[in-house]
Chain A
Amino acid sequence: MAGVVAAPAGQAGLAAAPARGLPADSTPWLLLAPATLALVILFLLPIGYVLLLSVTDPAVSIAHYRRIFSVPLYTRVLFNTFTTALTVTGVCLLLGYPVAYVMARRSDWVSTALLICVAVCFWTGFIVRTYAWLVILGNKGPVVAVYQAFGFGAPPRLLFTTFSSILGMVHILLPYMVLALYSVMKKIDPNLLRASASLGARPAASFRAVYLPLTLPGVVNGSILVFTICLGFFITPILLGTPKDMMISQLINQQIEELLAWGFASAVAVVLLVATSIVLAVYNRFAGLDRLWG
């Protein structure tokens, strides 16, 4: 915000006072400096340190990386982390798109009510929401009660399955998807749809040819947001899932907190970072990350 406001003032100031000894084209760099500095200090340096730790702690070697790729546990859990994150992103997109669509297209109480629901969900702690699922799907919960009230007998096992783990994560991440989609959909001019209708497009064709392409930035934005946050999850799968649903951050956490093996934990983190970058690079190749900003 401050940078945006200061920009014209800075340019005007330099133009009016050329004697200050700064080349005119340095202004954008000066304006970028605080953000760059913050990024370097808060982001690049720590990542560089993690990278360094992974090959120097406790001794200079690439043994950590060799261990990650020779012990089946790590590659298996890494693979599971990515497939889980992809599944959660896909489900969030399928569930979130219609909700965001209704929120954006209607301007009456329905839209407000939905927005409040999403916001309340968004601001409730994820631990609380995870424990709520333990109650809802649990032995004494409403799902089992309804099931038995209809005389279906013993309900299928819902809790402590991959299903409940995915369900919990979708519930936590859905608001991110809905809000990302909503912010883009809200900006779409309704006249564009009227125009396409006036030119003879049926609603489905109109949606496919006009609306959907215009919402793609929101789809990209929401998917990346959900996908990357999901990669770092581990409490929800621990509480709701099975040991097979283990996420890689759980192993990193174990190495740091229980074993004080920071070098090895760093190596796992670096592998996760590289794998994430590859996925995003592939995504960029086909979808274009520049759409992120609309």
Chain B
Amino acid sequence: MTQFKRLSRRQLIRATGASAAFVAAPQILRQTAEAQEQTLFVNTWGGSWTAAEETAYFKPFTEKTGIKVRTVAPVSFAKLKAQVQSKVYEWDVSNAGVVEYSQAVVEGLLEPVDKSIVDPAKFPPGNVVDYGVAGVSLGTCLVYRKDKFPNGGPQSWADFWDVKKFPGNRSLYNRSFTNLAFALLADGVPADKLYPMDLDRAFKKLDQIKPHIKVWWTQGNQSQQLIQDGEVDMIAMWNARAQEMIDRGSPFQIVWNGAENYGGYWYVPKGAPRAKLAFQFLEFVSQPKPQADFVNILPYGPPHPKAFDFISKETASKMPTAPDNLRVSHVPDANWLAPRLPEIRERFSQWLAS
């Protein structure tokens, strides 16, 4: 009995080791195979965003270069820091908004662009920067329900603030600097004078609208549900999210006047082992044609002006980088915001909670 039990214990250990190796083997083999085939791991948002990237970027890129693309979702800014610190890389490419990009540059988390692969001279100014290439931009716009305002709805942030002339429930996006800029615009500050920001003035103006904001939304689908169900009559939301529902027949109006045009960058984490492949990918997504393919699926703004050669006039008018829309929009000043963001975020959270 004793003998048998002791033997079985050893056997158990041996069996455990063997089965562990057995379980891990396909993983190890797959990794080796992928290394030979050259696979790039891209960090992406998932859902319809990734589906559009698949069509516009990943498939054509693989056809052109033979480099396979695998995706990891969702986008995590914190993962960037974790990867660079631990030197264990789950993905080689990701994208971030201009403010996050600036934060990452300050923290030294990004790999400088390999200019031998991505030549800045071949692209419009500003499309290739020190640590990344420009991605599509996103408009955060005033959107209202046409059925609630049959005689014309709010046309500016000053109108949004005017609760007497435009009564109704309102919602804003829970992002500090976005609301601070809207408040300053509502207070009469011209778009080109938003920065450096007069924070006290902005918070004072926000005080006026706070009792009328039913929800401060945090997630894209939340914003869609709020206006779709009529919980609110006007909202600050992402243009592509609003457009998606307008295309399905919702009675919404997008107001481009005063919109925030929030650009982003593709980047490579510092020390990423497949950086060479990653920069080949960055070079590919900087071309006008793939950008046009992407925004023809989802109406974000392509950074390359030539992309509009492949986009119909009607589709272009829905994009944040269309000239008419761009003229009435403003761009957050990432260089001013990035170092001040912790203080601004804290003050905004405190203001919200009190």
Q: Do A and B bind each other?
A: yes
Chain A residues close to B by CB (< 8 Å): 6, 9, 12-13, 16, 71-73, 76-77, 80, 131, 134-135, 138-140, 159-160, 238-239, 243-244, 246, 251, 254, 256-262, 264
The interface bits of chain B over 8-48 (1 if a CB of A lies within 8 angstroms of the residue's CB, else 0) are 01000000000000000000000000000000000000000
Give residues of chain B (98-142) contacting chain A, Cβ–Cβ below 8 Å.
Answer: 100, 103-104, 107
Q: How far is the CB of B257 from chain A (nearest CB, A)?
A: 27
CB pair A138 B78 closer than 8 Å: no
Partner of B5, one of A12, A244, A259: A12
Check if B231 sits within 8 Å of A246, measured CB to CB: no
CB pair A72 B107 closer than 8 Å: no
Closest to A245 in B: B353
Range of interface residues on chain B?
20 to 34
- A139–B230 CB distance below 8 A: yes
User: A73 contacts B77, CB within 8 Å?
Assistant: no
Contact partners of A139 in chain B: CB under 8 A: 229-231
Note all chain B residues with C-beta closer than 8 A to A72: 350, 354
A-B contact number at CB 8 A: 75
Q: In the bound complex, do residue A239 and residue B222 qualify as a contact, i.e. CB atoms below 8 Å apart?
A: yes
Kindly list 20 other residue pairs between chains A and B, CB separation below 8 angstroms, not including A139-B231, A259-B345. A9-B2, A9-B9, A13-B5, A16-B2, A71-B350, A73-B353, A76-B353, A76-B354, A77-B353, A134-B229, A135-B229, A140-B230, A160-B214, A160-B231, A243-B216, A257-B76, A257-B77, A259-B341, A259-B342, A260-B107
Judge if B218 is at the interface, Cβ distance under 8 Å: yes
B341-354: CB near A (< 8 Å → 1, else 0) gives 11001100110111
Structural contact, A159 and B353, CB atoms closer than 8 A: no
A12 touches B2 (CB 8 A): yes
Q: Smallest distance from the beta carbon of A58 to chain B beta carbons, Å?
A: 10
A134 to B222, CA, bound (A): 10
Q: Which one of A246, A257, A262 lies within 8 Å of B349 (CB-CB)? A: A246
Contact of B231 with A262 in the complex, beta carbons under 8 Å:
no
Give the distance to chain A from B199, nearest Cβ to Cβ, in Å.
Answer: 16
- Chain B, residues 163-196, CB within 8 Å of chain A (1/0): the string is 0000000000000000000000000000000000
Q: Is the interface of B mostly helix, strand, loop or mixed?
A: helix
Asked, given contacts A72-B350, A246-B352, A246-B353, whether A261 binds B225 with beta carbons under 8 Å apart, the answer is no
A251 and B346 alpha carbons, distance in the complex (Å): 9
Closest to B216 in A: A243
Contact partner, B342, options A13, A16, A160, A261, Cβ 8 Å: A261
Report the nearest B residue to A250, measured CB to CB: B349
Q: Which of B277-333 contact A (CB under 8 A)?
A: none
Contact: B78 with A260, CB < 8 Å?
Answer: yes
Task: Report the Cα distance A262→B218, complex, angstroms.
Answer: 21
Q: Is B215 an interface residue (CB 8 A)?
A: yes
- Docked pose: A256 CA to B100 CA in angstroms: 12
**Docked-complex contact B346 and A243, CB < 8 angstroms:** no
Offer 17 A-B interface pairs, CB within 8 angstroms, sorted by A.
Answer: A9-B2, A12-B2, A12-B5, A13-B9, A72-B354, A73-B353, A134-B225, A138-B229, A138-B231, A140-B230, A244-B353, A246-B349, A246-B353, A257-B76, A259-B341, A260-B103, A260-B104
Q: Which residue of the partner chain A has the closest CB to B176?
A: A258
B68 on the A face (CB < 8 A): no
Q: Is the CB of A71 within 8 A of B218?
A: no
Min CB–CB distance B245 → chain A (angstroms): 15
Residues of B within 8 Å of A238, CB to CB, are 218
Smallest Cβ distance from A195 to chain B, in angstroms? 43
Whose C-beta in chain A lies nearest to the C-beta of B77?
Answer: A257
Q: In angstroms, how far is the closest chain B Cβ from the Cβ of A196?
A: 46
Knowing A257-B76, A259-B342, A260-B77, the reply to whether A13 touches B349 (Cβ < 8 A) is: no
Q: Which residues 202-246 in B have Cβ within 8 Å of A in the complex?
A: 214-216, 218-219, 222, 225, 229-231
Task: Determine the chain B residues whose CB is within 8 A of the CB of A140 once the complex forms.
Answer: 229-230
Min C-beta distance of B177 to chain A, whole Å: 11
Taking the closest CB of chain A, its distance from the CB of B207, in whole angstroms, is 14
Cβ of B6 within 8 Å of any chain A Cβ, yes or no, is yes
Nearest CB on A from B2, distance (A): 5
Nearest 9 CB-CB pairs, A to B?
A243-B352, A73-B350, A9-B5, A16-B2, A139-B230, A257-B78, A256-B78, A13-B6, A138-B229
